[in-house]
Amino acid sequence: MVAHAEHIPHRSGLAAFLSRWLLTTNHKEIGSLYLWFAFLMFFIGGALAMGIRLELFMPGIQLIAPGFYNQLVTMHGLIMVFGAVMPAFVGLANWQIPLMIGAPDMALPRLNNFSFWILPFAFSILLSSFFMEGGAPNFGWTFYAPLSTTYGPDSTDFFVFGVHLMGISSVLGAINIMVTIFNLRTPGMTLMQMPLFVWTWLITAFLLITAIPVLAGAVTMVLTDRHFGTSFFSADGGGDPVLFQHIFWFFGHPEVYIMILPGFGIASQIIPTFARKKLFGYNSMVYATVSIAFLSYVVWGHHMFATGMPLAAELFFMFCTMLIAVPTGVKVFNWVATMWRGSMTFETPMLFAIAFVILFTIGGFSGLMLAMVPADFQYHDTYFVVAHFHYVLYPGAIFGTMAAVYYWLPKWCGHMVDEWWGKLHFWTAITFVNLTFFPMHFSGLAGMPRRIVDYSHQFQDFNLVSSFGAMGLGLTQVLFLFIVIKTIRGGEPATDKVWESAEGLEWTIPSPAPLHTFETPPPWPISETEAHEGAA
């Protein structure tokens, strides 16, 4: 975002642009690339979602044929999960982790470049499937066999290849983040002194390198089942379609924590800053995150209660899933305790962080309800589930990312965000997010299955409200794009410290952050005088 061309050989026009952005190994530039890429995917995925909601505006098929509808549902999920949320978090990690631990760059800068530049290719392949004969993948982002194996469209093979590429990108990115955190912390900074955003990302990176290869295995088995005569997922050859679900969700459940843990970290950075009070229970926050990560590996079965699981397995997965509520509760209580008797102001990042805590907790409540197996038989595969995971993903992962952007953007580009616009974005976003997703609880409880292109009259009113909300929510994010561009282009200059009581190494460097920072490791802990100089 900030041009510091002095280290780059002088070229002009396209060559200069390409050599800067294609060949960059700088963590800040790569971070920006990730964030812009995620932004683009967010809009593409959002456009697909608006197509879905337009079709669901009222009963009857008005706009989108059933086959194409399934393609929209599938691609919306894939693009939002792998194209928007994950790259956005990696982008934030790239920008912030070196700044927060006092490292000059990521530990493996060329690998960093490689892991980003895989993504545009992966998503070009995936998106190009819309234009292929037979259309894009149409089996849901969960690509259950045999819908994706025996019955998948030809483009399934491109989907498999695309997922492999995204997986390689994620694993390489995760390795880089782990190596950076373990090796490049400024001398003296112990693990238990790291900012929580760094901690949550370290744990996320472990989840990534263990979960993504399982996904790679699943898509490879789909590929060999389709073309090389294996029968992993087909009973005709001695396989089992449910095996696919076990493998997929063994990846899939850690994946949902991959999409939320960095958000926990972001909230834990922002709330203390604006409460002007240290984070309550730092240690228990770390332990809670680690326990959530461990538990995430033993709860995958709760996605599969309707597949005919034996009673003992149902009980095991129910109890383990309920246990997740304990560390998650600890985190929520700690955030409230951090706010308690603080001295709070409510700038845009704080508003998004508070909305994150509240709405994520609502998603957590519905998650707890879903964990109860008997009740899950009624909730499973209905809009109640759609409401649940959109509550943890939209106000969770997406609002978390937005909070982070509002919080750190002044550091990245040197301009404060115009609070009037930021607050307008917040209040419209929070109105429409609830208008879109809250009614889905009711349509689900009334019995509306998910992934249906058309529905009976009893679900009409709630779908109308959801569709109306979704249109507003989509437009609201155009406002976000406008605010980001406006802030990059100008605005009130940011001080080094940006926020009055922000703490951490990233606030000791100038705003905007120079291309190269911490070429010599900063002293740790930050001395009072230096922190003051930063603020001055």
Partner 1 sequence: MISSTSRHARGLCTLLLLIVPQVVFAVELDMREGVTAMSQDIHWLHTVMLWVCIVIGIIVFGAMGYTIVAHRRSKHPEPANFHEHLGVEIVWTLIPVLILAVLAYPAAKMLSEIEDNSDAALTVLITGSQWKWHYQYLEHDIGFYSNLSTPREQINSCGGWLLADTFCELPDGDSAAGKAERDANEHYLLEVDNPLVLPSNRKVRFLTASNDVIHSWWVPDFAVKQDAIPGFINEAWTNVPQTGTYRGQCTELCGKDHAFMPVVVEVRTEDEFDQWIEDQRLAKELASGQAVADREKTWTLAELKSIGEGVYLANCATCHQPNGAGQGTTYPALDGGEIAIGPMAAHIDRVMNGKAGTEMQSWAPQLSDRDIAAVITYERNAWSNQPDDNIVQPLTIFEYR
> Which region among 175-183, 326-334, 420-428, 482-490 touches partner 1 (by CB under 8 A)?
326-334
Stretch near partner 1 under the rule CB under 8 A, chosen from 332-340, 390-398, 400-408, 409-417? 332-340
456 binds partner 1 (CB under 8 A): yes
Helix 383-392 × helix 348-371 angle, to 10°: 140
Tell me the closest approach of the beta carbon of residue 345 to partner 1, in angstroms.
5
- Work out which of 104, 217, 342, 523 binds partner 1, going by CB under 8 A: 342
Range 297-316, binding partner 1 (CB under 8 A):
306-308, 311, 314-315
Nearer to partner 1, 461 or 530 (CB): 461
How far apart (Å, rounded) are the C-alpha atoms in residues 111 and 397? 26
Q: Which of 453, 372, 348 is nearest to 73 (CA)?
A: 453
* 59 counts as binding partner 1 under rule CB under 8 A: yes
The set of residues, in sequence order, having a beta carbon less than 8 Å from that of 409 and lying 6+ positions away, is 415, 417, 484, 487, 488
Q: How far is the C-alpha of 29 from the C-alpha of 22, rounded, in Å? A: 10
Burial of 445 (0-12, 13-18, 19+ CB in 10 A): middle
Least distance between partner 1 and beta carbon 336 (Å): 5
Task: Report the nearest approach of partner 1 to the CB of residue 316 (Å).
Answer: 11
Q: Which is nearer to partner 1, 41 or 357 (CB)?
A: 357
E strand or H helix at 410, and its extent?
Answer: helix 399-413
Q: Which one of the spans 195-203, 205-213, 352-360, 398-406 is the region binding partner 1 (CB under 8 A)?
A: 352-360
Q: What are the structure tokens assigned to 416, written together?
A: 């404060």
Are 245 and 304 in contact by the 8 Å Cβ rule? The answer is yes
Min dist CB 229 to partner 1, Å, is 13
Nearer to partner 1, 29 or 55 (CB): 55
Does residue number 294 form part of the binding site for partner 1 (CB under 8 A)? no
Q: Which of 19, 124, 128, 150 is close enough to bind partner 1 by CB under 8 A?
A: 150
Alpha-carbon span 279 to 121, nearest angstrom: 41
User: Considering only residues 462-481, where is the footprint of partner 1 by CB under 8 A?
Assistant: 462, 465
Cβ proximity to partner 1: between 50 and 513 the closer is 50
Site for partner 1 in 379-408 (CB under 8 A): 380-382
What track of x and - describes contact with partner 1 for positions 424 through 453 (by CB under 8 A)?
------------------x--xxx-xxxxx
Name which of 25 and 284 has its Cβ closer to partner 1.
Answer: 284
Check residue 358 for interaction with partner 1 (CB under 8 A).
yes
Q: Is 15 exposed, middle or buried (0-12, 13-18, 19+ CB in 10 A)?
A: exposed
Establish if 423 lies at the interface with partner 1 (CB under 8 A): no
Nearer to partner 1, 184 or 448 (CB): 448
Q: Quote the tokens at residue 94.
A: 């790239």
Name the burial class of residue 470, with classes exposed (0-12), middle (13-18) and buried (19+) by CB atoms within 10 angstroms of its CB: buried
Q: Looking at the DSSP assignment, which residues form a beta bridge with residue 493?
A: 415
Contact by Cβ (8 Å): 261, 217? no
> In the bound complex, what is the minimum distance in angstroms from residue 269's beta carbon to partner 1?
15
Q: Which of residues 117-136 bind partner 1 (CB under 8 A)?
A: 133-135
Half-sphere exposure of 192 (CA within 13 A, CB side): 5
157 touching partner 1, by CB under 8 A: no
Total chain residues near partner 1 (CB under 8 A): 103
Residue list 171-230, contact with partner 1 (CB under 8 A): none
Instruction: Say which amino acid occupies 430.
Output: I
List of residues 6+ apart from 208 with CB closer than 8 A: 170, 171, 173, 174, 258
